[in-house]
Amino acid sequence: MIKNIVLGIKEYAGALSLISKLKLWKYFIIPILISVITAVLIGIEAYVLSDNIGSYIAKLWLWDFGKETFSAISNFVGGIIIVIIGLILYKHIIMALSAPFMSAVSEKIEQHFYGDVKHLHRKTSFSEQLIRGIRINIRNLLKELLITLPILLLKFIPIVNIFSTILLFLVQAYYAGFGNMDYTLERHLDYKKSIQFVGKHKGFAIGNGIVFMLCLLIPVIGIIIVLPLSVTASSTKTLSLLHNKQELVYEK
């Protein structure tokens, strides 16, 4: 698992040069606009709701003693909840809506490394790619929320909350990598087989997603570069797996 995570991270090393070499920047214009608009809208909503969430949590403490302490913790946890849910929504929205554009990027990369292999592809239209992207990301969004919400409860437990933060980050990273991989898998595998494929390569998905999430920590620039770098890195590695050019250890 750790070996594959590292491999997923290392794939970013040549992403920027590959984008420039293949002149892929034009394919990212609309996805970058989607990314910026989505980030702004979710940021505004998060700012408005953060205090409200903390107030609702604070009402769970029915006693007078320790009320101020619990309220302070509640406000902090409320802010964390908003940030995490905001990141989850942002991630899946931009991935779903950018699917047709990112599929084109993946296809250009495949042609560069493996030549004309269209005869190996599933034939899909722009609308079918968009529907596939929405379907995958709704599925992943629901599963991620089901995993995330129980982990958020651990935030109330001292010391344990440190490990819960790491776990939350890895969960978010996994589903980010999942979405990036599907831009390539969409052309080669059906919905069910794509899910199975990512399941066999969890380490790579996490590795790709780790850098994706770290990019979002960079103010402004992060939401601009996150898709170009992560999709290019993911496409290169996913294609190598599909074409059996480089073996990756399957995780159990």
Tell me, what's the pLDDT at 188? 87
For the whole model, what pTM was predicted? 0.84
DSSP-assigned letters across all residues of the chain: -HHHHHHHHHGGGGHHHHHHHTT-GGGGHHHHHHHHHHHHHHHHHHHHHHHHHHHHHHTT--SSTTHHHHHHHHHHHHHHHHHHHHHHHHHHHHHHHTHHHHHHHHHHHHHHHH---GGGSPP--HHHHHHHHHHHHHHHHHHHHHHHHHHHHGGGSTTHHHHHHHHHHHHHHHHHHHHHHHHHHHHHS-HHHHHHHHHHTHHHHHHHHHHHHHHTTSTTHHHHHHHHHHHHHHHHHHHHHHTTSS--PPP-
pLDDT in tens, the chain (252 residues): 888 899 889 999 989 999 999 999 999 999 999 999 999 988 887 777 766 776 777 776 777 777 777 777 777 777 777 878 888 999 999 999 999 999 999 999 999 988 877 656 677 788 888 899 999 999 999 999 999 988 887 766 777 777 888 999 999 999 999 999 999 999 888 899 999 999 999 999 999 999 999 999 898 899 999 999 999 999 999 998 888 744 434 343
* Token duo for residue 206: 């996490």
138 touches 99 (CB < 8 A): no
pLDDT score, position 119: 56
Angle of CA points 111, 116, 119, to nearest 5°:
125
Residues 169, 213: Cα–Cα separation, whole Å: 8
pLDDT at 246: 45
Whole-angstrom distance, CA of residue 239 vs CA of residue 65: 59
Q: Which amino acid would we find at residue 135?
A: R
Question: Which one-letter amino acid corresponds to residue 34?
Answer: I
Domain locations along the chain: 2-242
